[in-house]
Amino acid sequence: MTEIRTPRLLLRRWTDDDLAAMAEINSDPQVMRWIGDGSVRDLDETAEDIERWEEEWDEEGFGLFAVELLASGELIGVAGLSVPEYLPEVLPDVEISWRLGAQFWGQGYASEAAHAVLEFALQDRGLERVVAVNRVGNDESENVIGKLDMVLDRETKHPVYGFALNIHTIDLTEYEA
Ligand SMILES: CC(C)(COP(=O)(O)OP(=O)(O)OC[C@H]1O[C@@H](n2cnc3c(N)ncnc32)[C@H](O)[C@@H]1OP(=O)(O)O)[C@@H](O)C(=O)NCCC(=O)NCCS
């Protein structure tokens, strides 16, 4: 079972027990504002997400981790790797992304998880490069990207929704945690 421990977090595979907490996070418009078309996701949609994330783990050997607080065991969100099929122009690059419940913002958890994910991408999966795709205007996410030393490669448009996206990359062969 793939698990990563950081000073404050456990990154792990998903279980059925995560559904309610993840659905709560996905139901918050503030959290979902910059994701997909900005719609919130209900319990059934969240169950489909978790199923898809677990399938990706099985098929690719990487995926989006459930992020848990070590101190309390609470699920605080999701961070990890995925194949960005919605944006064919960046394939075959793998995408790093993150999403935390709003009450867990501003404590450095997203950056802590993201650093661990980059290390996993390189050490465990042997990926030499990952991308971060961010909607222009999502400054909180851009801040995390900056702390990972990812560099802006180019701006593009979402193929379905048309809004502006920034594509950042990192050469993991140069990465130091
Ligand atoms: C994007 C998102 C994950 C960022 O979360 P975040 O909590 O702001 O990010 P960080 O983990 O970097 O923490 C930020 C702040 O915590 C503060 N902080 C408090 N305690 C800290 C600690 N012990 N260590 C580090 N930082 C700490 C820092 O001041 C930091 O701000 P700074 O970088 O300006 O100094 C969050 O806003 C989110 O979930 N948004 C909705 C989903 C989304 O848009 N995802 C991206 C699209 S995929």
Give the residue whose CA is nearest to atom 34 of ligand 1: 143
Cβ pair 161, 117 in contact under 8 A: no
CATH number, domain 4-176 = 3.40.630.30
What's the rounded Cα separation, in Å, for the pair 121 and 143?
20
**136 alpha carbon – ligand 1 mean position (Å):** 17
What's the rounded Cα separation, in Å, for the pair 59 and 24?
27
Domain boundaries, the chain: 4-176
Mean pLDDT of the chain: 96
Q: What does 115-175 look like in DSSP terms, one character per residue? A: HHHHHIIIIIT--SEEEEEEETT-HHHHHHHHHTT-EEEEEEE-TTT--EEEEEEEEGGG-
Instruction: Please identify, by atom number, the ligand 1 atom nearest to the C-alpha of residue 109.
Output: 11
Task: For 86-126, write each residue's pLDDT tens digit.
Answer: 999 999 999 999 999 999 999 999 999 999 999 999 999 99
Tell whether the model's pLDDT for residue 1 goes beyond 70: no
Contacts of 89 (CB under 8 A, 6+ apart): 156
Give the residue whose CA is nearest to atom 19 of ligand 1: 107
pTM, rounded to two decimals: 0.97
